[in-house]
Structure 1
Amino acid sequence: MKIFKKIIFFFALTLLVWGCESRVEDIEPEDNLSTDAVFSNFVNLEAAVIGVYDGLQDGDLIGTPDFIADFTSDNVDFVGSFTTLQDIRDFDADATNGTIDNIWFDVFDVTRDANNIIVNLENINADDVQGAPANFDALAIQFIAEARFCRALAYLVGVNNFAQPFQVDNGNTLGMPIVTEFFEGDVEPFQQPRSTVNETHAFIEADLLFAMNNLPASNGIRASSTAARGLLSRLYLYREQWAAAANMANDVVNTTGFSLASDFSFYNNTSSEHLFQVINQPDDPAIGSDFDTFYNPTSNNGRGDLPIAQDLIDAFEAEPTDLRFTVLTFSDVDAGNNPGLFTNKYPNGATNESDPNVIRMGEIHLNRAEANLRGGTTIGATPLEDVNAIRARAGLPALGSVTLDDILLERRKELAFEGARRMDLLRNNQNLKPGGGAVTAPGANFVILPIPDDELNGNPNAQQNPGY
């Protein structure tokens, strides 16, 4: 895989969890091995499974799209010097943009590695695998479920960035090409046209349902059925399937071992708050560097490129005792040496080891609140109870009643700098930028990213997004 030391790190943790006696140093990078060698030896096979997670550590998949979601909306200002990011910020990117190219192909890097597990492991039994444990059949199903979870997550990133939300033409606009076969190498060899958003969402849903039904409720740092339910609650919320979203979120809330943390020390620490994170080590040059480097000022070994936007500061200052404002932000200077306010959700600028949240309990309660409010239900709790639980942790007084605007405001403040803002605005028919006009309005051409030139040139069935 791209970063072999991460495979060793993840595999070492797996050895501790499952008591395997194999030597970590005997593991060979999966991309140095033939398919037969990978699937005929259990140590190599599990290294390949863990290698799928390695793809999620690439900052162009979980990282860059998240802060793009905040600076193309009203949470963050991008003041850095990278022209590819400046063009995205200005809604003036084109199909040759290198950052966009990286996001697109990282989706398919994870897809390739996941498909390797899904396609090849289905037809293998314990007799075919050297060193296979007694519970190999059960583990094989679990490995496939982990791969399908990771593939679903990658596709969710892709469809959210390269396609219009479900609310535009009821999901009948262009989505992602669906790739279910294993392919080798970094150059895309498949020739599928793009499926619709609805078809892409159905593909994601099927993967997550399989993961939900075949993974344990808790699985350490790896994918779990609880994390799959959490992502399904997000998918159903985005699709306005209110009862399904509320039920999935409610299942998560009622899962033993997961709950709202009592304070905000859960960032970068082990906590009941986390459903799924991407774990980093000190000096990992992948996802941590994207969040840590861009969100930290130079005084904390960052770039100072992403100060908090005044519009979000104003929203926080309406209730200035909010702990998400007083505890999770600090003042410094930005990349232009101007005073700015920064988030400290990613505090490890020196070591690049922050562990961003892919899905956590704060979002789950807000998913349930919004789904119940909009569906006219009280599955598990009333919307008011969920919102007040979030506000209580933030040190704010309880509300006496709750509206959709109240819930969206709590989502904005709770999930700021975690990549949720852009989709929350678009799916609720709100402009990405205050006073942004037609360019940043929901459904506008440039609120989604162009399909890269490399894809258009390599796939004769590829279709560009309108306007590009």
Structure 2
Amino acid sequence: MKNNINIILKRAGILSLAVSSLIFTSCEDELNVLPEDSPVTELVFSNGTLALGALEGMYSAAQQDDVLNGTLQLSGEWQSDNVDFEGTFPTFNEIRQYTTLSTNTSINGMWDDNYETIASANLVIDNVPLVEDETFTQAQRTQAIAEARFMRALVYLNISSFFGQPLQVAEGRNNLSVPLVISSEIGLEVNRATLGEVHDFIESELLAIIPSLGAPTTRIKATSGAAKALLARLYLYQERFAEAAQMANEVINDGFYALATDYTFYNQRGSMEHIFTLANNADDAQDSGEGFSGLTNPNPLGRGDAPFSDDLLAAYAAEPGDLRFTTLNQTGNDAQGNVRTFTSKFPDGNNNADDAPVIRITEMYLTRAEGNFRAGSTVGATPLADINTLRTRAGLPNLTTVDLDIILNERRKELAFEGQRRMDLMRNRMDLRRPGQPDANLSAPGMDRTIFPIPQAVRDLSPFLAQNPGY
């Protein structure tokens, strides 16, 4: 079969975006389908300036709500115990209620947009070495390719967590995951890879690009620090705890990053808190109002779709005065007209221009704490010291002892609404919902609809792609 992965047919679409951004200084143009031998392809990779425009186009593809700007991340929060869904989208309600169908158009969009971003990265990786431009230096080429490989690895880690079971259940590394499309060549027939194959690919990519990226100098692009931090996240998912602690420790000890003194760092790109944040602005924002800003703000500023769950509110209330709640919440009407509590991490519900916090240094402290605790080590600090460092910033008293439940609770309260909770529960073989929450009986580890289906629209074109159980 030829052209069976539908996103391969769209992978050159990012080139039209790159050209548009260079000629019209806009990143809002439609991502059109272009053939591999399109004159636009030849134009974009005809010189270094345009090739670097294609790299910028890759970041623009990642700005889609379904990729790094909130829809995928909040879907994980809805599936877990953190966030309620009060909106009118039936496709989001399916995700929240574990009644997802393979024809769910929102999940189809997530698959499509993430593979579109992968495709844009593949185009950069494959074509930058071929650019015939003596002014396009080898250092520029190496940097561009490394940034594209980082983005591809990041997207693969994200989608492999949603479209297949995690390492900790079923067949572990042999669980079916997502197709590994790692070439821009058309006519590829690609089956689903195993989770082990996807994880191995991600690890090899990150290890390969860390030397190429050099010392970090930015927080809104791929850097060696971001690659190490993503590798630490991967190792935590894989239960390679000593390696997770070591890699997180390397990032913490990089002088380019440091814990912010308070919680005003969201949307402050210069804050040392950020390892990699996706830059948005009013002219180049989250693309549909269904991302972080649009969904998490109350009416009329936003859609009012994603308030705190009562269980998450109770987690904060257990220790009154937690600044991660008291300084980062707002009240207003949800989509049903009820007064609810919402996060204020993404306050721009009008322009949807808030930056997306993809990786920040706080996560590395939490990863080092958990990695050390579970490995029985003290790389860089004791688990207790790391947790107390974060609690001090949150205005809470120091603890005298720490255990895994405490570490996971600190992760929950630090990273709420940022898309981490679902995998934290899954990789620890915990139900996604707490007793008494809706549909808690459907949320146990390994249950069919804790993961997404392979979209039916994809399987219509590629029937050899095996469907997940229960769909």
Of all paired residues, the percent bearing the same amino acid is 43
Structure 1 pair 112–4 and aligned structure 2 pair: CA distance change class (3 A): closer
One-letter amino acid of the structure 1 residue matched with residue 191 of structure 2: P
Name the CA distance, whole Å, in 2 between partners of 1:26 and 1:313. Answer: 40
Structure 1 pair 352–5 and aligned structure 2 pair: CA distance change class (3 A): farther
Name the CA distance, whole Å, in 1 between partners of 2:202 and 2:146. Answer: 13
Structure 1 pair 329–437 and aligned structure 2 pair: CA distance change class (3 A): closer
2:84 paired with 1:83 = no
Structure 1 pair 7–364 and aligned structure 2 pair: CA distance change class (3 A): farther
Structure 1 pair 395–342 and aligned structure 2 pair: CA distance change class (3 A): same
Deviation at 1:283, TM superposition (A): 4.9
Q: What SS does the aligned partner of 2:179 have?
A: coil
Counterpart for residue 292 of structure 2 = 291
Contact 1:438 1:444 in 2 (8 A): no
Counterpart for residue 155 of structure 2 = 154
- Segment drifting more, 209-218 vs 325-334: 209-218
Deviation at 1:466, TM superposition (A): 0.8
Structure 1 pair 280–7 and aligned structure 2 pair: CA distance change class (3 A): farther
Deviation at 1:65, TM superposition (A): 1.1
2:83 paired with 1:72 = no
Contact 2:303 2:335 in 1 (8 A): yes
Structure 1 pair 104–396 and aligned structure 2 pair: CA distance change class (3 A): same
One-letter amino acid of the structure 1 residue matched with residue 208 of structure 2: F
Structure 1 pair 33–340 and aligned structure 2 pair: CA distance change class (3 A): farther
Counterpart for residue 445 of structure 2 = 442
Name the CA distance, whole Å, in 2 between partners of 1:7 and 1:282. Answer: 21
Counterpart for residue 20 of structure 1 = none
Counterpart for residue 316 of structure 1 = 316
Counterpart for residue 191 of structure 2 = 193
Counterpart for residue 325 of structure 2 = 325
> C-alpha deviations, 1:228-254, integer Å up to 9, x for none?
101110000010001111111001001
What is the TM-score with the length of structure 1 in the denominator?
0.90
Deviation at 1:214, TM superposition (A): 1.0
Counterpart for residue 384 of structure 2 = 384
Deviation at 1:396, TM superposition (A): 0.6
> C-alpha deviations, 1:363-415, integer Å up to 9, x for none?
11000100000011111111011111111110111111110001000000000
Counterpart for residue 398 of structure 2 = 398
Q: What SS does the aligned partner of 2:257 have?
A: coil
- Segment drifting more, 63-72 vs 403-412: 63-72
Select 1:106's aligned residue among 77, 95, 113. Answer: 113
Counterpart for residue 460 of structure 1 = 463
Counterpart for residue 19 of structure 1 = none
Q: What SS does the aligned partner of 1:217 have?
A: coil
Name the CA distance, whole Å, in 2 between partners of 1:172 and 1:59. Answer: 30
> C-alpha deviations, 1:20-66, integer Å up to 9, x for none?
xxx98699x99785333222211111101111111110001121111
2:348 paired with 1:361 = no
Counterpart for residue 248 of structure 1 = 247
2:45 paired with 1:39 = yes
Q: What SS does the aligned partner of 1:457 have?
A: helix
Name the CA distance, whole Å, in 2 between partners of 1:2 and 1:298. Answer: 34
Give 1:181-330 correspondences, 5 Å limit. Answer: 181-183=183-185, 190-220=188-218, 221-270=220-269, 271-284=271-284, 286=286, 289=289, 290-299=291-300, 301-330=301-330
Contact 1:293 1:302 in 2 (8 A): yes
Deviation at 1:121, TM superposition (A): 2.5
Structure 1 pair 8–232 and aligned structure 2 pair: CA distance change class (3 A): farther
Q: What SS does the aligned partner of 2:464 have?
A: coil
Structure 1 pair 452–59 and aligned structure 2 pair: CA distance change class (3 A): same
Contact 2:241 2:374 in 1 (8 A): yes
Deviant stretches of 4+, over 4 Å: 1-9, 23-27, 29-33
Name the CA distance, whole Å, in 2 between partners of 1:120 and 1:250. Answer: 35
Name the CA distance, whole Å, in 1 between partners of 2:26 and 2:398. Answer: 56
Name the CA distance, whole Å, in 1 between partners of 2:18 and 2:295. Answer: 22
Contact 1:7 1:54 in 2 (8 A): no
One-letter amino acid of the structure 1 residue matched with residue 118 of structure 2: T
Counterpart for residue 178 of structure 2 = 176
Q: What SS does the aligned partner of 2:341 have?
A: strand
Structure 1 pair 287–246 and aligned structure 2 pair: CA distance change class (3 A): farther
Name the CA distance, whole Å, in 1 between partners of 2:334 and 2:431. Answer: 26
Counterpart for residue 49 of structure 1 = 55
RMSD between aligned residues: 2.2
Give 1:329-340 correspondences, 5 Å limit. Answer: 329-340=329-340
Q: Unaligned stretches of 5+ in structure 1?
A: 12-22
Contact 1:283 1:352 in 2 (8 A): no
Name the CA distance, whole Å, in 1 between partners of 2:16 and 2:401. Answer: 52
Counterpart for residue 16 of structure 1 = none
Deviation at 1:423, TM superposition (A): 0.5
Q: Unaligned stretches of 5+ in structure 2?
A: 1-12
One-letter amino acid of the structure 2 residue matched with residue 363 of structure 1: E
Q: What SS does the aligned partner of 1:122 have?
A: helix
Number of residue pairs matched by the alignment: 444
Deviation at 1:101, TM superposition (A): 0.3
Name the CA distance, whole Å, in 1 between partners of 2:158 and 2:26. Answer: 34
Counterpart for residue 126 of structure 2 = 119
Q: What SS does the aligned partner of 1:275 have?
A: strand
Deviation at 1:287, TM superposition (A): 5.1
One-letter amino acid of the structure 1 residue matched with residue 267 of structure 2: N
Deviation at 1:111, TM superposition (A): 1.4
Structure 1 pair 427–26 and aligned structure 2 pair: CA distance change class (3 A): closer
Deviation at 1:459, TM superposition (A): 1.4
Name the CA distance, whole Å, in 2 between partners of 1:101 and 1:64. Answer: 12
Structure 1 pair 312–40 and aligned structure 2 pair: CA distance change class (3 A): same
Structure 1 pair 344–338 and aligned structure 2 pair: CA distance change class (3 A): same
Structure 1 pair 424–261 and aligned structure 2 pair: CA distance change class (3 A): same
Deviation at 1:333, TM superposition (A): 1.7
Deviation at 1:170, TM superposition (A): 2.5
Name the CA distance, whole Å, in 1 between partners of 2:469 and 2:26. Answer: 50
Counterpart for residue 17 of structure 1 = none
